[in-house]
Structure 1
């Protein structure tokens, strides 16, 4: 079988339409929170799920099931059927027009098995599986959701959707997708009703910034261009129990109880910095998306689906990060994450008002990472069972390709549960990155972590 990254196939788009809510919904204006509408979240987030054939569903057309489920879900999540408007001070407001979400019906001349034994980003022909309908990709006056259901020759199908990140974070988007799944299986109402209440995560009046937010400060100019945006490639790396255990052996005993997210973020930041080879005296950065839902007191309502994130920053000189042991990077990441509290998130909201909703400061010396392991794709059962993969369609989303990656929960071909991390780098930097990471995660039972490792950590490559 050919490598899935070399797979090419034809997708026939049979119908593109706007799906409005199944019942009348209010026409009103709903402001986003001051966390939602910051510049750094003004991009489209693509997600994808692969479903194998289920003989019990042979008489069901997934296109009709998803179309109907979308229409029903939009009754409860009716802001998603509206359009964003930008008002004074760059404030984003949803006009709940009921126009609907974009829905694409498609067929592909390929079976699920041809994608290979392990489904993970980068996916071949992604632009065909999630078609960018002309005029749909902007921030304002555009559909807020784009969904494509592609039937496969084997009887399985692919569900892909793209959402305006200002409306929801990953948690909120999976809440919406889970609601669609419940309604597709016959529920009349969602088990968790959506809650708007964006004022709970908005600025004070008058606004007041109570923390230093280095993540929004200007970055010193680089002495040279570190990463050309041409020749970018993407690979996904699986970290199972063996790889995590190997990484923890690099740590001092007092740090070994760190979270897996902190450990992987520190390791990848260090390996990535070595790979891009900046000037030793220049600053390099890591920004960690931190989910703040559990930090609020009282807790935010269970159905709140807006963005509740902060992006605390850790900084080091390139030389210190690369030459010091992993402990050094890990302590910086842990210290940055520990800054995030309810008041810290609200301070960010206030900074947005005062500073005109700036983008968190990024350049190619910055690594951005978001943890999605709390989002279980097992909940995405639309009648066919859980998907064999459900998560971000690619790494590198956002303002600059190659900066953002995700931690995605996944089970590998051997049945091990772990985290999948897509990484996007220029081809020459990727080769260095792989060598550095091989050294860090080499397990006792591995003799070689090359193209066919026992641990199966290294998979696939594609040009972006």
Structure 2
């Protein structure tokens, strides 16, 4: 419409009642993403000490990471293996206490999980972000497959019942925020079509939020014309150096 269309290409549908809580509400699933965790070790990092860098992952980089995956996990997809790698490298870089709980929240599109399906054009959020949890020492010392299995398990938890349980939790607990302590959030927006949106001044270079504990994977073509995934990372300066070193070891 910004370029002259008189109507939207997809008719918007309201129908907020599709995702209302049940009556009575009942939390039937485990939702570690909303655990109440005290920041006793001061793990929440102020923005003024954070550094932002973006990292490109093309076929060569993804193949290098897959070398660390055992044969029984070879069926994992690119998002899963990349996420496991980044979560592990990021945890090593932050050097948390070995017993600290580290959370990885994977934003999952749940539109196709419902029967009947959420109608095309429904423009409310229909996503969950289940949390994988690990002690820092296990995440840092175990092979990549350990983190990968946790990522895959977390993704598989999102079902219609899971989403209804989230809606009920929102009512019972008064719309709590997700856990910040020891958390890292990832989302794949490479297929959203946001990069093709033209508001009158050309296609976007990046399409996704910018958050200190979140990475939104977007499509990118590097200077060599190679298509891949661009991932922005926020870390304190010294931790960023450790992150780059650990990542380079995996990509070598």
Question: 1:213 is matched with which residue: 17, 23, 31?
Answer: 31
Structure 2 residue ranges without an equivalent (≥5): none
* Cα displacement string for residues 12-68 of structure 1 (whole angstroms, at most 9, x for unaligned residues): xxxxxxxxxxxxxxxxxxxxxxxxxxxxxxxxxxxxxxxxxxxxxxxxxxxxxxxxx
Residue 175 of structure 2: aligned partner: 357
Instruction: Name segments (4+ residues, structure 1) moved above 3 Å.
Output: 381-384
Which of 167, 173, 194 is matched with 1:377 structurally? Answer: 194
Equivalent in the alignment of 1:438:
248
Deviation at 1:212? 1.7
Structure showing greater radius of gyration is 1
Alignment of structure 1 residues 40-79 onto 2, 5 Å: none
SS for the counterpart of 1:439 is helix
Tell me the equivalent position of 1:278.
96
Residue 221 of structure 1, CA deviation: 4.5
> Structure 2 CA distance, aligned partners of 1:277 and 1:375?
34
Q: 1:206 to 1:409 in 2, by over 3 A?
A: same
Distance 1:368 1:270, change over 3 A: same
Mapping 1:32-431, distance limit 5 Å: 180-181=1-2, 184=3, 186-219=4-37, 221-222=39-40, 224-226=41-43, 228-229=45-46, 230-363=48-181, 365-382=182-199, 387=203, 389-392=205-208, 395-396=210-211, 402-431=212-241
The 1:228–1:211 alpha-carbon spacing in structure 2 relative to 1, beyond 3 Å, is closer
TM-score, scaled to structure 1? 0.52
C-alpha separation between the residues in 2 aligned to 1:372 and 1:204? 30
- Contact conserved, 1:227 with 1:426, CA < 8 A, in 2? no
Query: Aligned pairs, how many?
Result: 251
Three-state SS of the structure 2 residue aligned to 1:391 is: coil
Q: Deviations over 1:161-192 (max 9, x none)?
A: xxxxxxxxxxxxxxxxxxx34xx1x4332221
Greater percentage in strand: 1
> Partners in 1 of 2:168 and 2:146 — Cα distance?
32
Q: Tell me, what secondary structure is at the counterpart of 2:107?
A: strand
Structure 1: give runs of 5+ residues left out of the alignment.
1-179, 397-401, 443-464
1:359–1:418 Cα change, 3 Å: same
Q: Give the whole-Å Cα distance in 1 for the aligned partners of 2:210 and 2:74.
A: 28
Q: Kindly provide the CA deviation profile for residues 368-406 of structure 1, in whole angstroms up to 9, marking residues without a partner as x.
A: 11211121235313566x5151412x632xxxxx21111
**Greater fraction helix:** 2
Contact 2:195 2:205 in 1 (8 A): no
Residues 311 and 273 of structure 1, relative CA distance in 2, 3 Å threshold: same
Cα distance change on mapping 1:356 and 1:415 into 2, 3 Å: same
TM-score (norm: length of structure 2): 0.93
